[in-house]
Structure 1
């Protein structure tokens, strides 16, 4: 697997899981509960957005040696 693709997919997973952690904290601190399907849908969107933006931004931010 291409290292650039692998890194972007991992950042997408980190983004989705971070969103789910934030939702869990929100539900613990408030009385309101969100449906599982809503949480899953938004986490999927956040994951795809994080992966896509990382994949597109990596060549702009770093040179071929991985330096800024």
Structure 2
């Protein structure tokens, strides 16, 4: 994505628009992951762990288990 596109996406999400391209990409990545996790937490309890694991793997390429 170009810097202009990153800033548009971040602006739509109410995120900060300052920083270089790498920081903008990280900020957008974090915003998308946060949205995905919030959506997963609204799912029925029995499917949350599965959904959160899928989101984590899709976004970060690895899985952290807390507990």
TM-score (norm 1): 0.45
Structure number with greater CO (CA < 8 Å, separation at least 6) is: 1
Q: Highest Rg: 1 or 2?
A: 1
**TM-score (structure 2 length as normaliser):** 0.46
Q: Name the structure with the higher helix share.
A: 1
